[in-house]
Chain A
Amino acid sequence: MADPVLDVRDLHVALHTRRGVIHAVDHVSLHIDPGETLALVGESGCGKTMTALSVIGLVPKPPGVIEGGQVLLGGDDLVPKSDEEMRRLRGDRMAMVFQEPMTSLDPVFTIGAQLMETLLAHRAISRADAHAQSVAMLKRVQIPEAERRMDNYPHELSGGMRQRVMIAIALLCRPDLLIADEPTTALDVTTQAQILELLRELRGEFGMALLLITHALGVVAEMADRVAVMYAGRVVETAGVEEIFANPRHPYTKGLLASIPDLADGQERLATIPGTVPNLLHKPPGCCFWPRCPIAEARCRAQEPALAELAPGHQAACWKASA
């Protein structure tokens, strides 16, 4: 098997705020193989975005501090790299697409300028070539009248179009890894379907690995090869996509899957997870899910379970999962 594109080992990121230390990413390990799509799933505040930001080197410092661990991109540890080195990597070997395409494009520059800027920063090519490649990429992400759109400003485009532009910018330098943070959450369902379809096509064509961050389990089922579920800064379960939907082992994953209303018939009552996501300023001792867990026992309250291999490629951090 090929070496993973991205290998995150025991990453620990803390935010030192006025009111205390938040362990936003709490000893997380992940890996993504070439061409693979890993979905990082969780609710708000579970640390999924912070994990992505530490991979791409955009953790706000302060208050963020990378306390430990490694982020290996093609075997190369990114944690000790300088800002300048990271800047050269971003947009080249790895790129990121954010949730809100309006705020991630600069309103005072044209689409064309922003595309070309990315190319010129990473490649020694002429402006004419950069222009040509930019137009080609806009066409590739199915933006009609690409040539003319180069002169548009972000506000002249719809949300779906802006997200296409963001994807075009991200893919210009053919990165090995694309991180997409809730790329369709701000979009309507028909536009979401278009963007997901586009990502599926491009993923095959460019052969890049995709780290897809989302809270929507439907999107996960449509897109992912493997899934990692995060809760309160930790990865609590990871498995192949079919395995995790068919056979979830962690009670949190089970709860999440049960609580989504789907298009199937005959649901009387939705299953719910009682309570709410814990305040990361004071995490519960032991397993952080036990206050909401239907099967918690004394051990869960005292000791934190580690991720354990339950089946090949299927790990869960739960004392009661192995039984």
Chain B
Amino acid sequence: MTKPTETLPDPEAPWDAEAIGAPFSPWRDFLVRFAGNKSAMVGFAIVLVLCLVAILAPWIALHPIAEQDLMVSLEPPLTEGFPLGTDQFGRDIFSRLVFGARVSLQVGGIVTLVSMLIGITVGCLAGYHGGRLDAVLSNLINLVYGFPLILVALLLVAVIGPGLEGAMIATGLVIWAGFARIVRGEVIALRNREFVMAARALGRGNVWIIVRHVLPNIIGPVLVIASFTMAVAVIIETSLSFLGLGAQPPTPSWGSMLNEGRSVIYRAWWLATFPGIAIATLVLGFNLLGDGLRDVLDPRMRT
């Protein structure tokens, strides 16, 4: 039981003055909140480290990813030169994991970016325009949103053919609906806010209103969804790769590595374990970041 310390008012403070809007930086305000949010910081740290690993992969990796050496197949972790052991073909698991981060983040990033653009466009159109267009688009959004993600992705890959491009297109085509739903809701709420009405009364057109008022005010929720979408995209990519429909050999993907380790899991646990940990960590990182961002950006948290 500690009594809160009594903070005395600053004797210099102008207690009789009204607020005068002294310098305030929203950007700094965001950083302070972000730094004060545990979940956001942990998530951000995980994502940052994995991004650095992906970018610096050629310098971090110890062996070329495709380098096979049957003399050292299925070496356990902590073997000289192979910190996380080797697979059936004697390839270094650590190096393949490092390059695998590239694949997962690239696919996740591209999918998220593309679906974000589609989602924002559709959501803005539906929400801002309203009326019949909104009725049509929101039915479309709900239809796509209702699809089971992984099944649709599988179906599309079956049509387009296996490979990373196919996986990205398949994921992107279904995942944008999540963005569109949120953006549409936010835009409808914004459209009825009085400051948008005021901008119209001042003679500003739709383009100005969307660029100046709508987009800046939906960045927060969009960032949150983007973070969660990254997590989902990574899971879909690794799932497809696990099934052999994503990254094709010799490209190392955490999903395909997991699959390769499956058959020898009792003899060589490390083949499947490390990619599994990597996937879980990355997904956790993005989920924590998204959670944290949601708290940090929530306008109700503003004092």
Which A residues fall within an 8 A CB radius of B? 16, 18-21, 275-276, 278-279, 281-284, 291
Contact = CB atoms under 8 A, between A and B. Distances in A.
21 contacts: A16-B4, A18-B303, A19-B7, A20-B7, A20-B9, A21-B4, A21-B6, A21-B7, A275-B16, A275-B18, A276-B18, A278-B15, A279-B15, A282-B9, A282-B10, A282-B13, A282-B15, A283-B15, A284-B16, A291-B15, A291-B16
Interface of B: 4, 6-7, 9-10, 13, 15-16, 18, 303
Contacts of A18: 303
Counting from the closest, the 3 A-B pairs by CB-CB distance are A291-B16, A282-B9, A282-B15
B145 to A, nearest CB: 27
Contacts of B7: 19-21
A19 B7 CA distance: 8
Nearest to B8: A20
Contacts, number: 26
B15 A284 contact: yes
Contacts of A283: 9, 15
Given A16-B4, A21-B4, A281 B9 contact: yes
B243 to A, nearest CB: 44
Contacts of B6: 21
Contacts of A19: 7, 303
A108 to B, nearest CB: 22
A276 B17 CA distance: 8
Contacts of B303: 18-19
Nearest to B13: A282
Contacts of B10: 282
B295 to A, nearest CB: 16
Given A276-B18, A282-B10, 9 more contacts: A18-B303, A19-B7, A19-B303, A20-B9, A21-B6, A279-B15, A282-B9, A283-B9, A291-B15
A306 B18 CA distance: 26
A281 B9 CA distance: 7
Contacts of B15: 278-279, 282-284, 291
Nearest to A16: B4
B10 to A, nearest CB: 7
